[in-house]
């Protein structure tokens, strides 16, 4: 279990202190941190809790939301991400996961045909991607100052409108390419990328460019949950071919943590100790043999 | 309005005869046909209804579902698609849209963690894609015999598990490439492909390879509908940048029909005549100026 990490978002209903105790008792040596639990505990106390338990931090989730078209929105994003970089450094992880943000138009979702066409420009996904690249360029020196890596997360295209205009691993690598690999990386999250016909080639590229900062595993469940964010599942419950993708990742020489991050109402409702046991079992069965 | 076509699936609750009358009265010169309405009317009668009204048929939807791993499933798929080819030819359209099918594992969706891991192999998306290519190769001579084009439809990746292991336009073009452009084409459906970072280049490629068999327009709505198939909306109600994508398609020289195919419960519940009027209005406002 020395490469398995669990993100606190998987056991959303317990405190950071409880998660640290639970994961440690389960024999894990690392933990993924969501910023809500860190904020709740207080940054310095969170850092102490984790380090005193002897856990290393596989990643901090998350910064990002960099697509604002207006000056105020852009300044707010830079400030929030600077804060996230400082948090990552304080918590002792180099890996700050970034969800880059969706179309500005999607921030005021209305639904229904009565509303009619929105203002032009709001839906310009090409321009939104370009603004993400601009913000990353501005954040790179800050990340370097704190020795943190900005980790671009391609999200499943069903979130392209409202959460991430970055949809494929190859696109993330293109966006990372102007910057050093130790400062801008990518995460391979099976839920988001399993469907991609270019996945094998993109993983190879990510490996050869030394940009794989995190390998996150969870399943893609059907039917899609009423809140599509919660469609993630335990490995084995959905449609991801963990053997194949894990082999592709392992073939690059990636030797870092394998982090399990599941948003799923049923799993959040279950006792956290049971959730951790199931994660360990499924990891041992479906992922570990192929690492 | 001479390039606008409406698919009968958009006005799901009226008969083919009613749709033919309604679209003709609305000044359209072509119609997209869904096989359910054709079957209901009877193939020969459907062909007569359409041709006597002076409508041309922009496409027949749909064949496909070619991912079966077992011999019986593969034979059934070949038989159904041969029938669809004959229907297209009888109805006077060259364009038979194919939704290629998802993972075999997804045909028995269970959901819930109690079930545990499925049998290995079921989730092998690489193998499923390869079986699609094999079936296409078998169908090409049949399509040629009837002078019909097999039109590969990349579907939004949120349907990769259960409906189509073909998720991008570039992937569809790769799959089409062994075959003549007049026998295997692709459809550009804004709902399915708008998020794709390679879209401009893929549309250019599709044009230069002369494979664009259909341009379908409808919007990508949020929130995603409870049945994700029904998340399609009137142009302007969602997040698609019709100006940009339409310009990319027009730049290839594509001069064929622009078909509106919307699955949306609210739209199905509305009077069909109102739906046709809204389609015409939105088309005139958001698509036509950029064609």
Give tens-digit pLDDT for A153-174. 999 999 999 999 999 999 999 9
Omega before residue A223 within 30° of 0, cis:
yes
pLDDT of residue A70: 93
DSSP A69: -
Measure the CA–CA gap between A288 and B201, rounded to whole angstroms: 38
Residue A86, pLDDT score: 98
State percent of chain B over pLDDT 70.
95
**Distance from A192 to chain B by nearest Cα, in Å?**
10
Specify the pLDDT at position A122: 82
Q: Give the 3-state secondary structure of residue B150.
A: strand
CA distance A47 to A31: 12
**How confident is the model over A230-255, as pLDDT tens digits?**
999 999 999 999 999 999 999 999 99
Asked if the Cβ–Cβ distance from A158 to B103 is below 8 Å, we say: no
Give A 85-144 residues with CB within 8 A of chain B.
Answer: 103, 105-106, 109, 111-113, 115-118, 120, 123-126, 129
Distances, alpha carbon B41 to alpha carbons A17, A227, B90, in Å: 66, 39, 14
Is B226 in CB contact (< 8 Å) with chain A?
yes
- Angle subtended at Cα A186 by Cα A180 and Cα A188, rounded to the nearest 5 degrees: 155
Please say whether the beta carbons of A33 and A8 come within 8 A: yes
- Whether the predicted pLDDT of A229 surpasses 50: yes
Sheet strands (E) in chain B: 4-7, 30-34, 56-64, 95-99, 149-152, 184-189, 212-216, 219-220, 232-233, 258-260
Lowest mean pLDDT among A282-291, B117-126, B209-218, B273-282: B117-126
The per-residue DSSP string of A20-64 comes to HHHHHHTT-SEEEEEHHHHHHH-HHHHHHHHHHTT-EEEEEEEEE
Q: Does A222 touch chain B (CB under 8 A)?
A: yes
Distance CA A261, CA A279 (A): 10
Going A202 to A208 to A212 to A215, the CA torsion angle's sign is: positive
pLDDT at A62 over 90: yes
Residue B103 has pLDDT above 80, yes or no: yes
In chain B, residues with a C-beta closer than 8 Å to the C-beta of A113 are 233-234, 237, 266-267, 278
The yes-or-no verdict on residue A120 having pLDDT over 60 is no
How high is the pLDDT of residue A104? 87
Question: What would the mean pLDDT of A84-111 be, rounded to a whole number?
Answer: 86
- Which residues neighbour A114 within 8 Å (Cβ) at sequence distance 6 or greater? none
Nearest CA in chain B to A229: B224
Domains of chain A, with CATH numbers? Answer: 4-106+120-290 (3.20.20.150)
Residue that has been written with the tokens 């030819």 in this structure: B89
Q: Of the ranges A80-84, A111-115, A118-122, B231-235, which one carries the lowest mean pLDDT score?
A: A111-115
Read off the DSSP letter of residue A287: I
B221 touches chain A (CB under 8 A): yes
Using the predicted structure, report yes or no on whether residue A181 has a pLDDT greater than 50. Answer: yes
Q: What is the pLDDT of residue B107?
A: 53
Task: Report the C-alpha gap between B207 and B211 in whole angstroms.
Answer: 6
Mean pLDDT over all residues of chain B?
94
When the pLDDT of each residue in chain A is averaged and rounded to a whole number, the result is 94
B190 in helix, strand or coil? helix
Answer whether 0.80 is exceeded by the pTM: yes
Is the CB of A160 inside 8 Å of chain B's CB atoms? yes
CA atoms within 13 A on the CB side of B23: 33
ipTM: 0.94
Note the pLDDT tens digit of each residue in B114-146: 334 444 458 999 999 999 999 999 999 999 999
pLDDT given at position B121: 52
Strand-pair partners of B259: B5, B216
Confidence of residue B15 (pLDDT cuts 50, 70, 90): very high
| pLDDT(A282) > 80 | yes
The pLDDT of residue B111: 40
Q: Stretch B226-245: mean pLDDT, rounded?
A: 96
Distance CA B99, CA B156 (A): 11
Quick one: average pLDDT of A282-291?
98
* Cα-to-chain-centroid distance, residue A117: 33
Judging contacts by C-beta atoms under 8 Å, the chain B residues touching residue A288 are none
Phi, psi torsion values for A163, nearest 5 degrees: -130, -35
Q: What is residue B30's three-state secondary structure?
A: strand
Whether the pLDDT of residue B113 is over 90: the answer is no
Q: Chain B contacts of A222, Cβ < 8 Å?
A: 106, 109, 111, 161-162
- Nearest alpha-carbon partner for B278 in B11, B2, B17: B11
Cβ of A195 and B157 within 8 Å?
yes
Nearest by CB to residue A239, choosing from B106, B238, B285, is B106
Quote the DSSP letter at residue A164: B
**Where does the pLDDT of residue A113 fall: very low under 50, low under 70, confident under 90, or very high at 90 and above?**
very low
pLDDT of residue A107: 53
B104 in Cβ contact with B69 (< 8 Å): yes
Enter the tokens of residue A172: 């993330």
Average pLDDT, integer, range A59-66: 97
A261 touches chain B (CB under 8 A): no
d(CA A246, CA A235): 12
Cβ distance A123 to B171 less than 8 Å, yes or no, reads no
């Amino acid at each position: 279990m020395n490469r398995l990490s669990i993100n606190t978002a998987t056991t959303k209903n317990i405190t950071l202190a409880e998660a640290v105790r639970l994961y440690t008792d389960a024999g894990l040596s690392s933990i993924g941190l969501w910023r809500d639990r860190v904020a709740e505990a207080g940054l310095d106390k969170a850092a102490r809790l984790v380090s005193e338990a002897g856990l290393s931090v596989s990643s901090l989730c998350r910064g990002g939301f960099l697509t604002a078209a207006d000056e105020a929105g852009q300044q707010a994003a830079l400030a929030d991400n600077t804060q996230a970089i400082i948090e990552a450094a304080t918590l002792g992880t180099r890996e700050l996961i970034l969800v880059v943000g969706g179309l500005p138009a999607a921030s005021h979702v209305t639904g229904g045909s009565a509303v009619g066409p929105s203002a032009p420009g709001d839906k310009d996904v090409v321009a939104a991607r370009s603004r993400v690249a601009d913000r990353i360029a501005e954040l790179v020196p800050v990340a370097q100052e704190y020795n943190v890596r900005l980790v671009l997360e391609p999200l499943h295209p069903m979130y392209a409108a409202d959460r991430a205009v970055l949809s494929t691993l190859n696109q993330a690598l293109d966006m990372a390419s102007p910057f050093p690999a130790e400062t801008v990386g990518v995460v391979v999250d099976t839920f988001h990328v399993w469907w991609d016909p270019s996945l094998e080639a993109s993983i190879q590229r990510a490996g050869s460019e030394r940009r794989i900062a995190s390998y996150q595993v969870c399943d893609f469940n059907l039917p899609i949950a009423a809140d599509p964010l919660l469609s993630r599942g335990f490995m084995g419950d959905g449609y991801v071919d963990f053997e194949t993708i894990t082999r592709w990742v392992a073939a690059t020489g990636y030797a870092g943590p394998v982090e399990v991050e599941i948003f799923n109402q049923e799993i959040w409702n279950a006792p956290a100790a049971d959730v951790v046991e199931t994660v360990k079992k499924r990891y041992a069965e479906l992922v570990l043999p192929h690492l």
